[in-house]
Homo-oligomer: A and B are copies of this chain.
Amino acid sequence: MSFESNLSDIGITLPEPAAPVASYRPAVIANGMLYVSGQLPFIDGAIVTGKLGADVSLERGVEAARACGIMLIAQIKAALDGDLERVVQIVKLGAFVASTPDFSDQPKVVNGASDLMEQVFGEAGRHARSAVATPVLPLNAAVEIDAIVALRN
């Protein structure tokens, strides 16, 4: 049972890791920890845009969070030269949900990413997290999620 085979089992083909939309790196390794930049939700090559509470349904928000999770995994794999098995633990997800001021179901939205991490990494995928709202996100994305990951030496 490898993380790669779990990905296959649930039918996920990792996308090409998205290039940063600005002057920074998608991921940096320091002291055995991988810090992954905030990832936006790509589905079929396009960013899921809009806000929860307005033009994005809860169901679509969950899909967007899962898409952020898939892109996080793609970035993790790229940062590890293709060897996803070096992941020891998904330590922390930092999740931001574009929301109107009356939408407070951010946890349900972000579960789209959290559930994915457990499906792919099992116990090693069960992470700490924060989930908050933002009035808007880069490129009008519905969700942005960053990650901290502990690595095998």
Measured CB to CB, the residues of A under 8 A from B are 21-28, 30-33, 35-38, 51, 88-89, 91-94, 96, 99-108, 110-111, 114-115, 118, 126-141, 144, 146, 148, 150
Contacts and interface: CB of A to CB of B under 8 A. Distances in A.
Nearest to A88: B30
A133 to B, nearest CB: 5
A107 B138 contact: yes
Contacts of A105: 138
Closest 4 CB pairs of A and B: A38-B130, A30-B150, A22-B107, A35-B128
Given A132-B96, A132-B137, A136-B133, A33 B35 contact: no
A107 B133 CA distance: 18
- Number of this chain's copies in the assembly equals 3
B136 A101 contact: yes
A9 B9 CA distance: 54
A136 B135 CA distance: 9
Contacts of A137: 104, 106, 132-133
Given A99-B135, A135-B135, A126 B24 contact: yes
24 contacts: A21-B107, A22-B108, A22-B110, A22-B131, A23-B115, A23-B118, A24-B93, A24-B127, A26-B128, A28-B91, A28-B127, A30-B88, A30-B89, A31-B31, A37-B130, A38-B129, A51-B101, A99-B135, A103-B136, A104-B139, A107-B138, A130-B144, A133-B135, A134-B135
